Structure 1
Amino acid sequence: MYTRQTLLVTSFGLFSLFFGAGNLLIPPLLGYNAGDKWFWVTLGFMITAVVIPIIGIMAHAKLQGTMYDFGKKVAPWFSSIYCIIVYAISIAIPSPRTASATHEIAVHPAFGTSPLLTSLIYFALVLVFVLNRSKILNIIGKFLTPMIVIMLLLVIGIGLYNSSLANPATFETPMVSGILEGYQTFDAIGAVVVGAFLIVSINFKTVDVEAYEAKRSLIRKAGLIAGLGLFVIYAGLISVGAYYGTEINVDDSLSNDMQRANLLRGISSSALGTFGNTVLSILISLACFTTAVGIVAGTADYFRGLFNKSNTAYIITAIVGCLAGVAVGQLDFHSIIVIAYPILLFIYPITIVLIILNILSEKWSSPLVFRAVVLTTFIFSIPDVIGFVSPSEDLKTVIEYIPLAKYSLGWALPALVMFFGVNTFQKGRGM
């Protein structure tokens, strides 16, 4: 079996790998806009930013393989393409986004340096950590995560203590807004990437966690603890944005990313005084850095396995991932989110159904069920993507006939109907 220390280190490490740039910046502004409806926004946000990702970790505990295992029941070719797309997205968007957020909030206000210099130093450090693969989880879990959690709780606790009444909500459908904002954290995609990373990290420490059941127990408990931590921090940041955010001057004429940064900076400064900006800079840097390390290492792990456990493939992938981070990291945080959103509308629903299907028992998740549900999800996600990229009157007419499509959730009900339909068909034929 494993020790309590192993469980805590794994849990802290998992929390930190999830908690990156978007996870810190998005909730306060979400709460600010939610106002007195912040509870319902929080509920929606938790579905896509906590519940689905932790179910993904539970699925990894069951499979104990790689991301490839998530989609192999659909077809081997599908799973390979899915893995490459998800890892490419992870390297091209969330990883550079961490560097961009670190520069805009922590580095540039203090030193006035260029984003190129920040990205070069940032990803050089990421590469050092990634190349020391066997030590990553220990370093993050033992040292970096406790610092992140302590600083977050300080900001949230003092902010709520000094809070006032929340403004009226600006969202028409607070819960749906929360669900869609949860997409921006990348946590569901992060679950399949980070979960695979976690399996490899545990395998590096096989002294007390060798048996399948022991690993399954460790991963499931670590997932629950990390999920509880995410829930507390997200709820805290959203409520602080809703209540204490009314004390901060948020310029509505600015872009969302600048509003997010200014609001978080204002909350930190008001809660902790002049020390607040220093705390925020350290907090942003640590939260972003640990996520970038997890993404690059997880991607390198996958390509290492793809090329017969080649360490050369691991090193080359890590270097390419860091170079891509430097290149894309020259964009500002808002530009990266604008690029990311239509991609998320396409890949996120498929990821969600794969996570849910993999956690179910075999009698409910046959290969036929996988294929039918994934295909249905793909088809009904297309209007969401097209509607965001190039909306038209004809498309609006189509969307009116698809339940929940106007909320960019048109795939959900058809996928659910297909799931029960195929299972009923199989049971009727004795399959």
Structure 2
Amino acid sequence: MKLGKKDILITGLALLAMFLGAGNLIFPPKLGLQAGGSFWPAIFGFIITGVGLPLLGVTAVAKAGGDLELLANRVNPLFSKIITTIVILSIGPMLAIPRTAATTFEVGVAPFLGTTDPATVKMALAVTTLIFFLITLLFVLKPTKILDSVGSILTPFLILFLGIIIFKGISSPLGVASKATLVSPFTKGFLEGYNTMDALASVIFGLAIANSIKGKGIEDKKEVAKVTISAGIIAAIGLSAIYLGISYIGSTTGTLFTGDNPGQLLSFVVDSLLGSTGKLVLALTMALACLTTSIGLVASCGSFFNRLTKGKVSYNTICIITVLISAILANMGLSKILEVSAPLLVTVYPIIIVLVVISLFDGLFKGNRAVYIISITGTVILSLTNLIYSIGTNMGLNLNFIKNALSVLPLYDKGLEWIIPAFLLALVANFVKPSNSSHY
């Protein structure tokens, strides 16, 4: 059995919507504003990492059977369970899912309250969170319908609202691009795309997409992988077009916007382009962007922990628990959550990227597990060292010796000091006699 072109398109649109969280809409306009006349190299750098890495992640997971855990098994089964659990929790109920609800309130509801009374705001947040997660549950409790629901219902509206903003911004630009304030626009864009951390989301969304495809009766692993990769390409094309559009609009604000907050920049742009209706259009756009991301993350959490417990805890039960935890955290405020979760994300991000890239070149070293083990071990050591430095510094400890040691590595000033060591370790490991294949 194979999926038709229409189903593949809907799957791609669903994946596109899952990636389009609030942050993905906020930061490209800011990059465009900073780049000014150097808009093209900046956005090209952003797309390489902000779109390229997620596409690689979806591809790697698809080729591994639609499962991050299977992909990480090539290093070690215990490592696989630990790293997958950390990724799922940190980008799921411990950070990203609560943030989707909180952002929906801040952008889509708070501007219309007409009051800053703490009691009123708190009650409005609680009601918004309740409604937001009830809608999320309506979609995720029927996993086989997620792709159809998100891809054919929510995504068209999201694209419509974004299309209105982008069309208006291109046809009636606010001004002309100002002189670039960036010394190296390509590098800035490259790092901004990297810092979206969408590569983490990609390995999680890949699981949700693969499971939904299987739910349609597609059992052949190659066909599941083919459809998932095709969906990833569709999502990548859509993301690139949207990033180009909204970053270009940001570049045309010139000197009209003088603030630093990227969220305020987006609000300023939409208000200036669409007038009194701009606030409503932006609110609906952000709410849909957050909702589709929440749906993808909750569904992925449900699938992973259902399998981790070997079916002892049902998918629906896990989704409900995930939503309850996320709702509580969203109402508590996210500052403390960020303090805990952000360092974890920064720690696991390089590990996941190395795992993804190596897996895509698996055929070159014939599945030699030594390549996975040695390169990932080196990356883990560097990531944990950075985590220790970050936590220790926040506690007031003098750990400059760690910083001094790491600073000798290439690209340290860009936060990419792990790249060269991982590459060199993989090359060296390829000459280690393999004990067995990575595929087991």
Structure 1: how far apart are the matches of 2:285 and 2:186?
A: 28
Asked if residue 31 in structure 1 is aligned to residue 41 in structure 2, the reply is no
Q: CA deviation at 1:338?
A: 6.0
Whether contact under 8 Å (2:136, 2:294) holds in the other structure is yes
Structure 1: how far apart are the matches of 2:226 and 2:154?
A: 24
Which of 117, 131, 136 does residue 146 from structure 2 map onto? 136
Q: CA deviation at 1:162?
A: 2.9
Question: Alpha-carbon deviations, 1:263-318, whole Å to 9, x = none?
Answer: 111111222222211111111011100110110111111111122234x4323321
Question: Alpha-carbon deviations, 1:300-345, whole Å to 9, x = none?
Answer: 11111122234x4323321221122112223667776665543332
Structure 2: how far apart are the matches of 1:28 and 1:377?
A: 32
What is aligned with 2:169? Answer: 159
Which of 405, 411, 418 does residue 412 from structure 2 map onto? 405
Question: Alpha-carbon deviations, 1:22-52, whole Å to 9, x = none?
Answer: 1112221222233333333323322332111
Amino acid at match of 2:375: V
Question: Alpha-carbon deviations, 1:399-418, whole Å to 9, x = none?
Answer: 33111011110000100111
| 36-45 or 20-29, which deviates more | 36-45
Whether contact under 8 Å (2:374, 2:426) holds in the other structure is yes
Whether contact under 8 Å (1:384, 1:405) holds in the other structure is no
Q: CA deviation at 1:421?
A: 1.6
Structure 2: how far apart are the matches of 1:110 and 1:200?
A: 39
Which of 224, 245, 251 does residue 233 from structure 2 map onto? 224
What is aligned with 1:344? Answer: 345
Cα gap change, 1:323/1:176 in structure 2, threshold over 3 Å: closer, same or farther?
farther
Whether contact under 8 Å (2:306, 2:314) holds in the other structure is yes
Asked if residue 273 in structure 1 is aligned to residue 275 in structure 2, the reply is yes
Structure 2: how far apart are the matches of 1:23 and 1:338?
A: 21
Aligned pairs (5 A) from 1:273-352: 273-310=275-312, 312-330=313-331, 340-352=341-353
Structure 2: how far apart are the matches of 1:14 and 1:401?
A: 40
Whether contact under 8 Å (1:54, 1:227) holds in the other structure is yes
Whether contact under 8 Å (1:183, 1:344) holds in the other structure is no
Cα gap change, 1:397/1:307 in structure 2, threshold over 3 Å: closer, same or farther?
closer
Aligned pairs (5 A) from 1:181-260: 181-206=192-217, 209-244=218-253, 246-247=255-256, 249-252=257-260, 259-260=261-262
Which of 264, 268, 286 does residue 266 from structure 2 map onto? 264
The percent of aligned pairs where both chains have the same amino acid is 32
Whether contact under 8 Å (1:250, 1:262) holds in the other structure is no
Aligned pairs (5 A) from 1:47-196: 47-90=48-91, 91-111=93-113, 113-114=121-122, 115-163=125-173, 164-196=175-207
Amino acid at match of 1:403: P
Q: CA deviation at 1:360?
A: 2.1
Structure 2: how far apart are the matches of 1:337 and 1:68?
A: 25
Whether contact under 8 Å (1:159, 1:244) holds in the other structure is no
Q: CA deviation at 1:84?
A: 0.8
Structure 2: how far apart are the matches of 1:352 and 1:269?
A: 38
Q: Which runs of 5+ in 2 are unaligned?
A: 116-120
Structure 2: how far apart are the matches of 1:65 and 1:425?
A: 29
Amino acid at match of 1:275: T
Question: Alpha-carbon deviations, 1:196-223, whole Å to 9, x = none?
Answer: 01111001111xx443333232222111
What is aligned with 2:118? Answer: none
Structure 2: how far apart are the matches of 1:384 and 1:239?
A: 35
Cα gap change, 1:334/1:269 in structure 2, threshold over 3 Å: closer, same or farther?
farther
Cα gap change, 1:36/1:343 in structure 2, threshold over 3 Å: closer, same or farther?
farther
Whether contact under 8 Å (2:54, 2:198) holds in the other structure is yes
Which of 414, 419, 422 does residue 429 from structure 2 map onto? 422
Amino acid at match of 2:413: K
Q: CA deviation at 1:187?
A: 1.2
Task: Give the TM-score normalised by structure 2.
Answer: 0.88
Q: Which runs of 5+ in 1 are unaligned?
A: 253-258
Structure 1: how far apart are the matches of 2:386 and 2:307?
A: 34
| 82-91 or 157-166, which deviates more | 157-166
Whether contact under 8 Å (2:100, 2:294) holds in the other structure is yes
Whether contact under 8 Å (2:144, 2:213) holds in the other structure is no
Structure 2: how far apart are the matches of 1:53 and 1:142?
A: 22
Asked if residue 46 in structure 1 is aligned to residue 47 in structure 2, the reply is yes
